[in-house]
Structure 1
Amino acid sequence: MDKENAVVETVATGDGGSDKSPQAIEPDSGGVEAHDDVEYVKGHPVINNGADVSKFIVSDRDDGDPALTFRSVVLGSVFTALSSVITILYVFKPYQVQVSPVFLQLLVFVFGKAWATFTPRPDRFKSPWIQKILRFLNFGQHFGIKEHVVAALIASSGNNGLSGVEVHAVERLFYDFHVSATTAVLSTFSIALCGFVLAGILRPLIVYPGEMVYWSTLPQVVLYQNLHFDPAANKRRLTKFAWALLIAAVWELFPAYMVTWFGGLSIFCLASLDAPEHTRKVFSTIFGGASSNEGLGLLNFSLDWQYIQSTFLSLPFKQQVNSWIGYVIFYIMMSALYYGNAWNAKTFPFMSSSLFLSNGDKFTPDSVTNPSGTIDYGKLSAIGLPHLTSSTVWGYLTQNLAIGALITHVLIFYRKDMILAWKQARSRTQPDPHYQGMLKYKEAPMWWYLALFVLAFFAGLIVTIKGETTLPVWGYIVSLILGAFIAPFSCILYGLYGTGVGTNQLSKMVAGALHPGRPLAGLYFASWSHQVILLSVNLANWLKVGQYTKVPHRIMFATQVYGTLLGAGLNYAVMITIVNSQREILLDPIGNSVWSGATVQNLNSQAITWSLAKEVYGIHGRYLIVPLGLVIGLALPFAHWGVIKLVPRVRKWPLNTAIITSYAGAQTYYGSTSWINSTIAVGIFSQAWLRRRMPGIYNKYNYLIGAALDGGSQLIIFILSFAVLGASGTERPFPTWWGNPSGNPDHCL
């Protein structure tokens, strides 16, 4: 197997206990050379795999500073409240706002430094009691990296339980189910924590190995270390970080507000301005992409960093190559399906996630339900089964292809490496320096994870036995089994490639097949099943951040659980308040300028739709190809393996059919597509050119500047959301002009 695709890299990792910055470890000679399996260009190492990241990008320094302090818990709790309350609040707003991890990271740092700087030092006081109290409160004391990580971890965990709270919102609004406080607490607790056990059990495979990098979080890790390790020595880098953040913040004002045309530059759209309407419609379908569901965005280019993000500066070259192949398939298949009139595609819009009647009118899910919220098959027979757009069918199909391919790809290509990783973890011989640096800290014992799972499992069991979820006990158990089966494969892919495969639609499809005509049962089934997968990936990702920054294992576990429960509780309390006080407006399909039930209405519509899975996707269904995608996907890696046997040099190509098929259809859910070519350009610049040609600059600045660009753009988006984009209830649009047209920003039809 190709070295870049290996789960475990046995390259010599040098001095695991060194406190030197990784950038200081480099040879003196210039030119291109290889030494100790590391490639050098002009004296700087080229980052090719996880072992290189561990040695040259992330420092193995550990100052032994405290992690769990009064200050870290308070800051984490405050910003958990901020992020979770804002998130649930804007579930019920016409404009959506999210608090990003990088934004939280910077907020925590600013307040942590202020806490250390503007509070009195204990040594200023003579009384030992006052000194003790001030030390406990961390007054006047250094704000360290581990405190920073713990506080940001707590804050970022606050929305882990959001899915369960949204289910309760749908219950209250559309079914008038007011579940008991016991049911609400137990179900929220169960859904929020049910997936943690898998990350704990699978730590030797998905966290410990050096190749499990979790690439998309590297900008955060590098930023943590640059902010806290030798800030004087890193002054030049931090200065560049500050300038990049400022420039990104100022620039974001233009594409996000004043010159929205920058969000989708299309030569073809501009060339078609005076063309006949039919021609403009075709051009908009193929080349338009700046607006939601406008078109494919072929050769469209975005200058809006909020859509590009540092992810594409961070994801490894092997991942991005596969995504580029997927994009090509996306362009070809979407055009072929629509213009080939597959599934009567031309009767419906080119791209839309809505449901339609056979004549092209919109299908209203509520028109086929009875007062109890279950399907009224008499009404359904009169109206007819819903139709999907070709883009939706293709999106669902590629998701299932990707899930199937994910399972067999991991088993075929990573089986031996997983066995080796497990053996190395048991013998404590895993060579990664960051793993070795964590051996001095006590592990969170396995029984902690198992005990948490037992509590979460029985909490969910009580809820289903009481019957308030309409989900039978056997359905609840199947949902957990489904999530537990897929989660390990998702974690391995995410760790190796920094990207995952969408699994939510599979959970909904299985729920609909098992519980036909019962949308609420499907919602609960999908929430439990998908949360097992999502939480496994989230916890594994944070455990890796903790390994890189040397936060003790037990603290990582405890704070993740604390943040999740705190956020879930706050989410639920805010949800109850809003639903009770704004019920009529939230049930209105239009809402008003302050409140909107569009998000929960969409959840309910999806639940009703998927409760028809047998009729729509079954053996006699119109879209049988969608579930068959799982079987086809399972076969794709076998075909890949067969080609390698016939043509051995193909082994050197970092192909992954799960990622290819995922990216061949995932864009159907994003709405706008103008960002695709921009991310390709960013990936080529970062991973294909800068990393290979100028590794010195890449190693020092690639991830740091990526974090700065994210922080700057997200800061301005957050401010604009409240100031002018309608998040505060009043929208103040920028005057319409050529650079900010009233129609599609790219000037397509």
Structure 2
Amino acid sequence: MSSKASQPLDEVPRLEHTPDDKKGPVRSATEASLDEKHFEVDPEKDISSSDLAGRPNVNGEPIISTGEDVSNFLVDVHDVGGEALTFRSIVLGTLLSGFGAAVTQIYSFKPLTISVSSIFLLLVIYTFGRLWQRLPTRTTLERYPRFGRLGPVIAFINPGPFGMKEHAVATFIATTASGGSTAVYNFGVQRLFYDTNPNAVTAVLATFSTACFGYGLVGLLRPLVVYPAHIVFWGSLPSVTVFQALHHDESEKNKLRLRRQVSLFWWAVLGMAVYEVVPAYLFPLLNGFSIICLATQKAPVHTRSVISYIFGGANSNEGLGVFEFSFDWQYLGSWYMSLPLTQQVNTWAGYFIGYFVLLGLYYSNTWGAKTFPFMSSSIFDSTGKVYNQSFVFGPTFSLNETAYADLGQPYLTATYVFNNMAQSWAIGGLFAHVCLFWGKDVLAAFKISNFRGKPDRHYLAMQKYKEAPTWWYAILLVLAFFAGLIVVFKGNTTLPWWGYLVALATGAIVAPFSTVLYGRMGNGIATNQLFKMIAGAIHPGRPVANLYFSMWSHDVVSSMVGLSGDLKLGQYLKIPPRVMFLTQVYGTILGAIINYVVMLVITQNKREILIDPLGDNLWFSQSLNSNAVTWSLAGRVYGIHTMYRWVPLGILLGALPVIIQYLISLRIKKIGPLSVDKIILPYSMGNVAALSVGINSTVWSSIALALVSQLWLRKYHPGWFRKYNYLLGGGLDGGAQITLFILTFAVYGASGVSRPFPAWWGNRADGNIDYCYHQRKGI
């Protein structure tokens, strides 16, 4: 999301609002060949009240349901013009990148991963941008002729009013850098579990390779994953509405509303920043408040153990968190205030089924469940002790057959096996759902002239700008490929060159499926397990090679999803495509460097708790290593004659329910008020075991939050929802994340010294913080 770091500003092409009166839109040969009847519509024509006829609305405010609704009613199509790439936008974006990337990397080592709020970043940038515009301008110097020679310098530093496009570019830099990277996390795993220390050059090249290869694919597949109206990227809508609220209307009435909105945001930031100290440090019981656990303190030990597994969830790998509520915003977040309710309901269905299945697996002793902890993503030997992987793989990270014969295969907890199985179901369901339900749309998207006969008006409004040429993306693909090849040959990856090629190829095949799903529904399906399966099949006995294989294949997918969403946001905001290209590449490289530095600090100072199989309520890091080890032994752990064989077979089994659903949808369109084709089975299957690891005290609170925001406010107060919902969520996110950032280094021990708050009733000295029974098997 950025601008090219090595390119001087004066050499960056100026891509401002091009007058339409003489030159007309700049269009590619492909676009010029489109059927002209599709361009008779004025893309910047306002949607009139007559267009609302037959549309669900409340007092003239349309209820937003589909991608076409978003394009026509929620996102303003007008192009406000103005500068996009300036010295000010690059400086502000770079400064905020440091905070965003650091927080993202901190959360990658926590029991519950949370992303940095883009709303928070954009509003902080807006505030500083407005302050910056008050600095002396070129016009100011005109009063002092002797300083006239400084005019160009002052204009370069402060070009005047802080416009929307400049604001957007700064935000793209910061959010791209904040995106995180599996590559950097991989290096953390190597430091923690394999006692190796990849150097900074290797880390940056690997991160550049994974992210920019995905971005190159985005460029080649823009007609599929960016241009169509039904591709929305719902998570970007809060940013769109806030950008428009801040910049589109300069009337006095709107300025008053803006003051109210910005005031609401900053009061939310301040209030949450102060409040977050309470659950995060002073009163951790608020992380997970379980009346049932508190009321059963004097129950027999066995009873309390069962209660903990069902109703506990405030600590990592404690329990399922049924009827437990969290009042800690850092683990809730505005995510649940922006995702469509349809998607969230599919997720809740998975949670509900999972409660019964996970408990049933453990208490029926399936896969020897009672030998191991109820919940953990670590690997164990047959006695329930932590698996001695150093003994089995040695300093070369390759399988020692003699050592393996002595120690035996690694085992997983039953709940984590089911988690892996559910991920396989979701992957199979993903491919089936995209092909069967959205196949026609996918094909139509490649035919730009046939967006169901109605091309996205935002796409049409962008035709006045020069598109980033396809060869730019092709060159980026080539550079990313060779950067990765250097890492393969010079880094201690144990991955052969041909394995690297297979990794990129599989990532490139899966990425469009994941991106289409994410673009249409606002969330995706984790596909990393598929890549680990393939890596285990072609590189048996090499866990580090498995790490790197899945890194390249998975990060191609994740970067394509993230960068496609940003390009869609750029289309909504009318940011020139060439500026978007430079902005995103710069942000990617910047984020890689910052993430690597933060990873080094955390893995050095919190090593002991990070390698603990259970972790605590602050730090946890196990699953990536466990998957790498077990899938490197795929034939011995997941083979057809092993107890875990249903995990890889799940990919085939996951497609079957979707096929059945599709056949039903051909005959039955609705079941009551619910359209059959709106049921997204891959989400439900993927989340049926989502509570098998980590902190689970947030589930019921997140459901309540989603119902208030996405049902009550969206449906019955759409005006308030559109103006304030996302602002409020972004402010609360920002306040919590500022406090977390400070606490991480001040008291949590990331800087090397922990300063725990004194123990009291709301802050237990030992045991689970929600007073559920704390049981550790002999691990």
TM-score range, shorter chain: 0.7 to 0.9
The answer (yes or no) to whether the contact 1:56–1:699 under 8 Å persists in 2 is no
In the aligned structure 2, how far is the partner of 1:737 from the partner of 1:575? 32
| Aligned counterpart, 2:458 | 434
The answer (yes or no) to whether the contact 2:105–2:180 under 8 Å persists in 1 is no
**Does 157-166 or 320-329 show the bigger shift?**
157-166
Flag the 1:285–1:602 CA change in 2: closer, same or farther, 3 A. Answer: closer
In the aligned structure 2, how far is the partner of 1:112 from the partner of 1:208? 30
Flag the 1:249–1:469 CA change in 2: closer, same or farther, 3 A. Answer: closer
1:146-184 CA-partner distances (Å, limit 9, x unpaired): 112211211222256743345456667876778899866
Residue identity matched to 1:631: L
Length-normalised TM-score, structure 2: 0.84
Matched, 1:62 2:108: no
1:303 offset after TM fit, Å?
Answer: 1.8
In the aligned structure 2, how far is the partner of 1:107 from the partner of 1:471? 43
Matched, 1:206 2:233: no
In the aligned structure 2, how far is the partner of 1:347 from the partner of 1:499? 35
1:512 offset after TM fit, Å?
Answer: 1.8
| Aligned counterpart, 1:690 | 713
1:619 offset after TM fit, Å?
Answer: 1.8
Residue identity matched to 1:736: A
1:527-559 CA-partner distances (Å, limit 9, x unpaired): 110111011001101111111222111111111
Matched, 1:129 2:149: yes
1:298 offset after TM fit, Å?
Answer: 0.9
Matched, 1:643 2:664: yes
In the aligned structure 1, how far is the partner of 2:264 from the partner of 2:509? 45
In the aligned structure 2, how far is the partner of 1:260 from the partner of 1:349? 24
1:95 offset after TM fit, Å?
Answer: 13
1:238 offset after TM fit, Å?
Answer: 2.9
Flag the 1:15–1:408 CA change in 2: closer, same or farther, 3 A. Answer: same
| Aligned counterpart, 1:594 | none
| Aligned counterpart, 1:106 | 123
Residue identity matched to 1:164: A
The gaps in structure 2 that reach 5 residues or longer are 1-37, 613-618, 774-779
| Aligned counterpart, 1:218 | 237
The answer (yes or no) to whether the contact 1:307–1:675 under 8 Å persists in 2 is yes
1:676-728 CA-partner distances (Å, limit 9, x unpaired): 11111122222222222222222222222222222222222223333333334
Length-normalised TM-score, structure 1: 0.88
1:321-350 CA-partner distances (Å, limit 9, x unpaired): 211211111112111111121101111111
1:72 offset after TM fit, Å?
Answer: 1.1
In the aligned structure 2, how far is the partner of 1:630 from the partner of 1:326? 17
| Aligned counterpart, 2:7 | none
1:47 offset after TM fit, Å?
Answer: 1.4
1:483-541 CA-partner distances (Å, limit 9, x unpaired): 11111111111111111111222222321221011222212211110111011001101
Same amino acid, percent of matched pairs? 47
| Aligned counterpart, 2:746 | 723
In the aligned structure 1, how far is the partner of 2:221 from the partner of 2:158? 36
Flag the 1:236–1:641 CA change in 2: closer, same or farther, 3 A. Answer: same
| Aligned counterpart, 1:737 | 760
Question: Superposed, which structure 2 residues align to 1:625-704 within 5 Å?
Answer: 625-650=646-671, 652-653=675-676, 654-669=678-693, 671-704=694-727
Question: Superposed, which structure 2 residues align to 1:104-503 within 5 Å?
Answer: 104-125=121-142, 126=145, 127-138=147-158, 141-158=160-177, 162-168=181-187, 186-229=205-248, 230=250, 231-424=255-448, 430-464=454-488, 469-503=493-527
In the aligned structure 2, how far is the partner of 1:93 from the partner of 1:46? 37
In the aligned structure 2, how far is the partner of 1:510 from the partner of 1:200? 26
In the aligned structure 2, how far is the partner of 1:336 from the partner of 1:442? 59
Flag the 1:513–1:137 CA change in 2: closer, same or farther, 3 A. Answer: same
1:66 offset after TM fit, Å?
Answer: 0.8
In the aligned structure 2, how far is the partner of 1:177 from the partner of 1:267? 45
Q: State the secondary structure of the residue aligned to 2:133.
A: helix
Flag the 1:403–1:37 CA change in 2: closer, same or farther, 3 A. Answer: farther
Residue identity matched to 1:696: G
Counterpart pick for 1:559 among 559, 583, 593: 583
**Does 359-368 or 155-164 show the bigger shift?**
155-164
In the aligned structure 1, how far is the partner of 2:279 from the partner of 2:605? 36
| Aligned counterpart, 1:48 | 65
1:733 offset after TM fit, Å?
Answer: 2.7
In the aligned structure 2, how far is the partner of 1:384 from the partner of 1:289? 32
Aligned pairs, number:
720
| Aligned counterpart, 2:4 | none
Q: State the secondary structure of the residue aligned to 1:213.
A: coil
Residue identity matched to 1:677: W
1:730 offset after TM fit, Å?
Answer: 3.2
The answer (yes or no) to whether the contact 1:161–1:564 under 8 Å persists in 2 is no
The answer (yes or no) to whether the contact 1:88–1:574 under 8 Å persists in 2 is yes
The answer (yes or no) to whether the contact 1:365–1:609 under 8 Å persists in 2 is no
**Does 649-658 or 286-295 show the bigger shift?**
649-658
The gaps in structure 1 that reach 5 residues or longer are 1-10, 28-33, 592-597
Flag the 1:182–1:652 CA change in 2: closer, same or farther, 3 A. Answer: closer
